[in-house]
Amino acid sequence: MLKEKMEKALNEQINKELYSAYLYLSMSAYSQTLGMPGVANWMKIQAQEELTHANKFFDYIHERDGKVTLSAIDAVETKFGSVTEMFKKVLEHEQYVSESINKLVDISIELSDHATRSILMWFVDEQVEEEASVQDILDKLAMFDAKGHGLFMLDKDLGSRAFVDETQAE
């Protein structure tokens, strides 16, 4: 059985994951207005991934005989500036989510909730990957100053990203 403090914090994390999905879906729509279908595809898959994260917490809470409480999802912005500015916002958001996961780990340690700590380690690793993949895109954008043939090729490359449900990997 989950302790109340842990259950509440996990429910808040479900909201954050769903907000992330909403944010990336909005960025996907915005990318279409920039004429960047590849970036739009990358963002849409990013949104799908966030849904799987929310779902992993959702199932886990039930597994531990806890109660899922879904709260309102905040509205998201609709404009994100240049493609570089948008990816900087993605990185900032992922850093915020990493912080949030770290705080959950702190709570699990405080409560000696080793089962929750164990599932959270998956998310700790996932956040390292998330931040690295966004940083990689930002590095590429800086390399060709976010324009010309480089930008065209990056958009093409991001257009080939396919959805993989990492939560079902093990």
Residues interacting with Mg ion, by CB under 5 A?
17, 50, 53
Closest contact distance (angstroms) between CB of 49 and Mg ion is 7
Decide whether 93 or 155 has the Cβ nearer to Mg ion.
93
SS3 category, 81:
coil
Closest contact distance (angstroms) between CB of 108 and Mg ion is 17
Closest contact distance (angstroms) between CB of 76 and Mg ion is 15
Burial class (CB in 10 A: 0-12, 13-18, 19+), 150: middle
Angle separating helix axes 37-63 and 4-33, nearest 10 degrees: 170
The residue of the chain with the least Cβ separation from Mg ion equals 53
Is the CA virtual torsion 133, 94, 154, 42 positive or negative?
positive
User: In which residue are the tokens 């729509």 written?
Assistant: 29
Decide whether 7 or 50 has the Cβ nearer to Mg ion.
50
Decide whether 90 or 151 has the Cβ nearer to Mg ion.
90
Decide whether 44 or 53 has the Cβ nearer to Mg ion.
53
